[in-house]
Homo-oligomer: A and B are copies of this chain.
Amino acid sequence: MTPNQVSRRGMMLVLSSPSGAGKSTISRALLANHDNLTMSISATTRSIRPGEVNGKDYIFIDQAKFDAMVAEGEFLEYATVFGNSYGTPRGSVMDALNSGQDVLFDVDWQGTQQLRQNALEDLVSIFVLPPSIEELERRLYSRAQDTEEVVKGRMARAHDEISHWAEYDYIIINDEVDISVSTAESILTAERARRRRQIGLADFVRGTGVS
């Protein structure tokens, strides 16, 4: 057995932030640079849109099936947004973690709270803060097609989201995006070196006879 063959349990990596804080850029960079990290795929009751692929973008199911999965405790987290239900199926995530894959989640503070309740040991949570209120407003207002009402609603949701920053393991203030990406990558690397995720270590130590 070589060190690279020490078996690992994957982690659930959560990135939360208000809209406009730069979370999507960080997520994309992480996914592009790390083969062992995949995006979690949610089940949803909303209709499939042109260009979407069932099982890749979402798992499209009807409300009866969704409700049955809720009743069976098959979601790690779920929520209803604008009348559509979304949930993270437990089975596929646990399969990934068991095979040593890391899974990235793009969920808000409410989703993160549910993940914490259901899978605390596997969870690594990062909150991305904007560098200033002016910068956040600038980013939210710069989508020129939106009415002021829409922007105000978005700003209110941003404040609500930010009010939960203290529930997260790590905080990244996204001032320079390159540094933020590098910090997120360090968190991924460090958490992979965490003893309790390297579940093959006892076998490794025994196998090498070093102890």
Contacts and interface: CB of A to CB of B under 8 A. Distances in A.
Contacts of A18: 210
A208 B171 contact: no
Interface string A170-184: 111101000000110
Contact of A168 (B130, B133, B195, B204): B195
A121 to B, nearest CB: 14
Given A186-B189, A195-B170, A159 B204 contact: no
A163 interface: yes
Given A162-B205, A195-B170, A132 B190 contact: no
A63 to B, nearest CB: 35
B193 A132 contact: no
B210 A133 contact: yes
Contact of A190 (B158, B165, B187): B187
Nearest to A183: B193
A186 B195 contact: no
A169 interface: yes
A145 interface: no
B136 A175 contact: no
A201 interface: yes
Nearest to A196: B169
